[in-house]
Amino acid sequence: MEVKDIFSYDWSYLLPEFIILGFATFLSLLDLFAGKRLGKQVIGWLSFLGTVIAAIFVIINMNALNKPYSYMIDMIRIDDYGNAFKLIFLAGTAFAILISLSYLKAGEVQHRGEYYYLLLTGLLGAMVMASSADLITLFVGLELLSLSSYVLVGLRKKSRLSNESAFKYVVSGSIATAVLLFGMSYVYGLAGTTHIYEISFRLAEAGMAGYQFLVYTAFAFLAVGLAFKISAAPNHMWAPDVYQGAPTPVTVFLAVVSKAAGFALIFRVMMISFFNVSDGTGSGRFFFEEGSLYLGLMAAASMIIGNTMALRQTNVKRMMAYSGIAQAGYLLVPFVPPTSLFFSEVIFYLFGYLLVSFGAFAVIMVVSREQETEDLKGFAGLYHRSPVMAIAMSIFLLSLAGIPITVGFFGKFYLFMGTLVVENYWLAAIMIITSVISYYYYFGIIRQMYMRPGTTEAPMVVPKGIWTFILIMAIATVFFGAFPGLVTDYIQIHFNPSFDFGNMLSPSSQ
Amino acid sequence: MGNILLSSLVFSPLLAIIVMAFIPNRHAGVIKQVGIYGTLPALILAGWMFGMFNYETANLQFVEKHSWISIPIGMAQAGTVFAFEINYELGIDGISMPLILLTAIIGTLAAIASWQIKKRQKEYFILFHLLLIGMLGVFAADNLFLFFIFFELTLVPMYFLIGIWGYGEREQAANKFLLYNGIGSGIMLLAFIVIFVIMRTLNIDEITAILTTPGHPITEILTPEMRFGIFLVLFIAFAIKLPVFPFHTWMLRVHVQAPPSIVMIHSGILLKMGAYGLLRMGIGFFPEQAYDFSMWIAVLGIINILYGAVLAFVQKDLKMVLAYSSISHMGIVLLGFASMNTIGFQGAMFQVVSHGFISALLFFLIGVIWDRTQTSMLDDLGGLAKSMPFVSGVLLAGGMASLGLPGMSGFISEFFAFLGLFGRLPVMAAVGAIGIVLTAVYLLRAILKTTFGPTPGRCTGLADAQPMEVIPMVVLLGCIILIGVYPAVLGNPMQQALKTIVPIVTGIGG
């Protein structure tokens, strides 16, 4: 590859990242020098503005670029795959900022300024993760996201629960990072390069040269390390504690943005690096055989653990954490093994998950603050107190459970179809059974809302901002459930998913 | 294909939902009226279509087709994108037409019976109409995806209707209903998607045509073992709904705990969706496999008949007697299917419709009795004929129809079903016929105990049927007698459609 001068690149494609970086820097300085004199919400609204502008530039990039644009030998790589994920990150962060703006409890988070620009730096990390094809930049992105998240989780300084969860998150996160780095060191040792497309060929050669076992070991460590970020088994244990302890907008940021980023990384690293490695017999490809089987076992374990453990939870945020573990399991399904459908399956599912999670957590936030408890019983009689909240929450829960006509149903249908295309009946069966198990706990909340008397019948006061937000999410959940074609077509037209996995593969490796 | 008659029929209950949404809760009377009148458009349209129905042909009528979702899966030759198409397709033939009319009639009558609902009328009727949309849609759908969506659409309203308006242990009943039916529809979806992935269409007619054409290229992919596998999965899915012996426990609870108007719908229509699915998608798609399996269908049918009858005999609760009686009567449907000839199928479908009317009538009567006496235990009842002669008379008539008295619908269906089965499996038929005797025993015992004999204190001085209650009784009884005296009203539309299924069955199976 020809070496380019740093100024010879067209840096305009990196504008989304620069904007987020710029806003984060600017806001931290603003907070430092003018923090006391500013209105409480100004920094929040400015960071929201930042995400919107960045999203506009991502869309411009999408239309301007027909083929991937790469900086410094794929250190950063602007392609369809990354752009699709970036839109989800940006929307997720924007939503998190919105619900924080209208509903962050006074005094709950002491450092409001930091809160908002830490979300932005976390977002920047996620965006870097989605759009690089080099182990170094990927790792830098991952750490940027992780460090921001660690602080965000612990930002309720006076809450014992928050401190505890931040501590747990840092410790288990560091262990996961160590495992991941250990896996990467194997990859580097075998391949002698950090460039993922290079690795793809080097690992294949290493496999042929009799280092099969080391290749497999590298794969296993990478998978376990990355499972942490997406809260999939076997590295899911942190999620319930952290979800419970973190401020609710941060919880949902972790549940959506951080998880999606984990997926962006897992697929980019795992799939491309091991794309050319042949399996032991020499006839098949490792990733499409044993490798994806390994991910399949992770998926199955996550679905089973997540859905069964959720049954026993009484704290609604813990329950959502286990539900999130299960959702991570569903999201791993398209990779067993990847088909030409996989990219749009994942993006569609994440899109639906984005709407539903934010809607559900917004309701949880309103209810648990008003009731001063995060217990499931806080939902009792909600229907009589605020029918709109109850109906919206029911829609979100039905969507999470995968019942038509909601976006979650089509998401699951799509995943399901993808797995049956490759005749993975066992995984499909686990998906079905665990989904039905999940009915029980999702309907548990519905039961509280409609069938149990609450402590009071007084109408619940819901601030206008969050009320509108929840309503829009609920309508979108139903609308895209009835017309999922709008989203799948969009993915098809703008992200070119079917033919080379969303521009993930370099032309030579296809 | 600009025909929108069927769509307007299916979605006509939406009108009532919209109107009701604007009526304040305190106007319970108005809501109830809207709730009842809201079912009339569907009834009128269904009646009109029944009149216009051309029963000389086996083709689908009132067909509608719109493209809905298209999922690109790859590139075919010449650069065209190859995609899975999911269409919005409605159409009815001679099998679904009577069921749609049955749904519309029972829908209206159950709405009238819902006059008794004393709390939260608005929500009740909104859910009721949602349920109605689901049921009409199931019978009108000509597309598996659409069928599934409507099938699931019945699940959620039913959950609420049982769980909020039911009797003492309503929540457990609702949960059990949800889990069993969730599993049922889950595995149904599994079968549907396998079919979709292999055949690339979801149109019921096309699938039937492809699967039953000897030597169609699809046979290369779809081995006989796979066909049998899919058939079995479909059979289990619909067996849960029907319900067939080991899967029946949920249905008992629903029959006992749900409010009478909902049991009318449940036993009158929802159980029939299982029979309909079994005929159209089980036997219709896989006639050969069904033929090979018919011996077992007969065995299951006999178990259902005898098991239901024997247990009905020992029940102390009138509701349980009728619940077990429903299980017993669904056995006759299975026997009709097992015969694999026109007469048997006709018997099965007659039984479906006839039992719909009869059980709706009987459960309506139980509701009336409960309303007066607050009990349905046989030991607490007795001598009702003195104070409620009209109700007792109708109860006796309904019981007679149920045990198959000539001149009523029950007789025709049992006669045809057994006639069909005697032609093929005479021994089975003979064993099954014992059930008819047992039916007479348990029904007469229950009815005598209720209407005659010593009169306990609580059963004296009760008001006889009110005008609002007379209407459903008379209409249902009228339908029962009409079918009994003039079976052609039902037989004619079915004839052609059944004739297309049977030659396929016998033509291939020998």
Q: Nearest residue on chain A to B193, judged by CA atoms?
A: A417
Residues of chain B contacting residue A499, judged by C-beta atoms under 8 Å apart: 74-75
Q: Do B187 and A432 touch (CB under 8 A)?
A: yes
- The answer to whether B153 faces chain A, any CB pair under 8 Å, is yes
Does the distance separating the beta carbons of A488 and B69 come in below 8 Å? yes
Over residues B344-380, the pLDDT tens digits come to: 888 898 899 999 999 999 999 988 888 888 888 888 8
- Name the nearest CA neighbour of A83 among A131, A17, A135, A11: A131
pLDDT of residue A441: 92
**Parallel/antiparallel/unpaired status of strands A69-71 and A76-78:** antiparallel
pLDDT of residue B162: 92
How many helices (H) and strands (E) chain B has is answered by: 24, 2
B161 contacts B119 by C-beta, under 8 angstroms: no
pLDDT at residue B69, as a whole number = 85
Report pLDDT for A3: 59
Compute CA distances A508 → A201, A272, A275, B79, whole Å.
10, 12, 12, 21
B226/A contact by beta carbon, under 8 A: no
Q: Can you give the pLDDT at residue A509? A: 45
Per-residue pLDDT for A356 more than 90? yes
* SS3 letters across B150-183: HHHHCHHHHHHHHHHHCCCCHHHHHHHHHHHHHH
Mean pLDDT for the stretch of residues B461-466:
81
Residue B508 lies in a domain: no
Mind listing the pLDDT tens digit for each residue in B80-118? 667 788 889 898 888 888 899 999 999 999 998 888 888
Name the residue facing B194 among A403, A413, A420 (closest C-beta). A420
Residue B210 amino acid letter: I
Nearest chain A residue to B124, by CA: A450
B65 within 8 A of B2, measured Cβ to Cβ: no
Q: Please tell me the predicted confidence (pLDDT) of residue B457.
A: 78
CB spacing of B156 vs A398 below 8 angstroms: yes
- Enumerate residues 6+ apart whose C-beta is below 8 A from B490: B98, B349, B350, B353, B483
Quick check: B178 and A428 CB within 8 A? Answer: no
* Amino acid found at B108: T
Q: CA separation (Å) from A483 to A118, B68, B300?
A: 36, 8, 41
Our count of domains for chain B comes to 1
- The reply to whether residue B183 touches residue A340, judged by beta carbons under 8 angstroms, is no
Task: Give the confidence band of B1 by pLDDT, cuts at 50, 70, 90.
Answer: very low
Closest-CA distance, A466 to chain B, in angstroms, reads: 23
Q: What pLDDT does A280 receive?
A: 67
Instruction: Say yes or no to pLDDT of A510 above 50.
Output: no
Q: What is the mean pLDDT of chain A?
A: 88
Q: Output the CA–CA distances (angstroms, integers) from residue A183 to A96, A270, A510, B155, in the order listed.
A: 33, 11, 25, 47
Q: Which chain A residue has its CA at the smallest distance from B153's CA? A: A404
Is the pTM higher than 0.95? Answer: no
Please report the pLDDT score of residue A506 as a whole number: 62
The full set of domain ranges for chain A reads 312-500
Work out the average pLDDT over A478-485.
92
Q: Is the pLDDT of residue B506 over 60?
A: no
Report the Cα–Cα distance between both ends of chain B, in Å, rounded: 38
Tokens of residue A439, six digits: 């009915």
Mean of pLDDT values over A382-388: 89
Q: How far apart are CA A473 and CA A477, in angstroms?
A: 6
With 0-12 / 13-18 / 19 or more C-beta atoms within 10 angstroms meaning exposed / middle / buried, residue B76 is exposed
Nearest to A451 among B73, B171, B194 (CB): B171
**Mean of the pLDDT values across residues B206-217?**
83
Tell the residue number behind the tokens 């239309």, with chain if given: A63
Answer whether residue B507 is part of any domain.
no
pLDDT band at B505 (very low <50, low <70, confident <90, very high): low
**Which chain A residues touch B164 with a CB distance below 8 Å?**
450-451
Beta bridge partners of B74: B82
Mean pLDDT over A259-284 rounds to: 83
Q: Cα-atom radius of gyration of chain B, to the nearest Å?
A: 22
- Kindly state whether residue B240 falls inside one of the protein's structural domains: yes
Q: Which residue in B69, B123, B153, B154 has the most chain A C-beta atoms within 10 A of its own C-beta, making it the best mutation to test that interface? A: B69
Judged by DSSP in three states, A318 sits in helix
- Give me the mean pLDDT over the B144-153 stretch: 92
In angstroms, what separates the C-alpha of B147 from chain A's closest C-alpha?
A: 11
Encode pLDDT of A98-116 as tens digits.
998 877 766 667 667 788 8
Q: What is the ipTM of this complex?
A: 0.90
Residues contacting B360, CB < 8 A, separation 6+:
B106, B109, B110, B264, B265, B267, B268, B472, B476
Question: Taking Cα atoms as reference points, which of B152, B190, B144 lies closest to residue A415?
Answer: B190
Query: Mean pLDDT: which of A244-248, A302-306, B33-37 is highest?
Result: A302-306
Residues of chain B neighbouring A449 (CB-CB closer than 8 A)? none
* A325 half-sphere exposure, CB direction, 13 A CA radius: 33
The percentage of residues in chain A with a pLDDT greater than 70, rounded to a whole number, is 94
Residue B404 has pLDDT above 80, yes or no: yes
pLDDT for A183: 92
Query: Please, which pLDDT band fits residue A18 given cuts at 50, 70 and 90?
Result: very high
The type of residue at A314 is T
* pLDDT at residue B510 in the model: 35
Quick one: pLDDT at residue A303?
94
* Residues whose CB falls within 8 Å of the CB of residue A475, separated by 6 or more in sequence, listed in order: none
B149 touches chain A (CB under 8 A): yes
Average pLDDT over residues B501-508: 58
- Eight-state DSSP code of residue B215: T
Give the pLDDT of residue B224.
86
| Listed residue (B12, B259, B267) closest to B114, CA to CA | B259
A445 falls in which pLDDT band (50, 70, 90)?
very high
Residue A507 pLDDT class (50, 70, 90 cuts): low
How far is B381 from B373, CA to CA, in rounded Å? Answer: 8
B211 is a domain residue: yes
φ, ψ at A315 (rounded to 5°): -85, 125
CB contact under 8 A, B73 and A398: no
Confidence class for position A157, pLDDT limits 50, 70, 90: confident
H-helix or E-strand spanning residue A181? helix A160-191
In-domain check, residue B111: yes
Cβ within 8 Å, pair A413-B164: no
Alpha-carbon distance A68 to A88, whole Å?
19
pLDDT exceeds 60 at position A214:
yes
> Is residue B510 in a domain?
no
Position with higher pLDDT, B467 vs B357: B357
Please say if the pLDDT value at position A282 is more than 70: no
Which among A435, A436, A451 is the nearest to B164, CB-wise? A451
Task: Note down the domain range covering B165.
Answer: 5-501
Contact B194 A403 (CB under 8 A): no
Please, which residues have CB within 8 angstroms of residue B478's CB and are 6 or more apart in sequence?
none
Give residue A321's pLDDT: 93
Q: Does pLDDT of A2 surpass 70?
A: no
- Supply the pLDDT for residue B454: 81
For the four alpha carbons of B387, B393, B394 and B395, in that order, the dihedral sign comes to positive
pLDDT at B173: 92
The alpha carbon of residue B216 is apart from the nearest alpha carbon of chain A, in Å, by: 21
Residue A40: count of CB within 10 angstroms of its CB: 11
Largest Cα span, chain A: 73
Compute the distance between CA of residue A376 and CA of residue A451 in angstroms, rounded to an integer. 13
Q: What is the pLDDT of residue A327?
A: 93
- A58-93 pLDDT, tens digit each: 999 888 887 788 888 778 888 888 899 999 999 999
pLDDT value for B412: 86
Neighbouring-strand partners of residue A195: A134
DSSP B89: E
Mean predicted confidence (pLDDT) in B422-433: 87
Chain A residues whose beta carbon lies within 8 Å of the beta carbon of residue B156: 398, 403
- Other residues' Cβ atoms within 10 Å of the Cβ of residue B78: 5
Say if CB A478 and CB A356 are below 8 A apart. no
Average pLDDT, chain B: 87
Backbone angles phi, psi at B362, to 5 degrees: -65, -40
* Partners of residue B69 in chain A, C-beta under 8 Å: 410, 483-485, 488
- Indicate the helix (H) or strand (E) that contains B74: strand B61-75
The residue ranking higher by pLDDT, B284 or A53, is A53
Helix (H) or strand (E) holding B134: helix B121-140
List strand residue ranges (DSSP E) for A205-296, in order.
Answer: none
Q: Which two tokens mark A73?
A: 């030998």
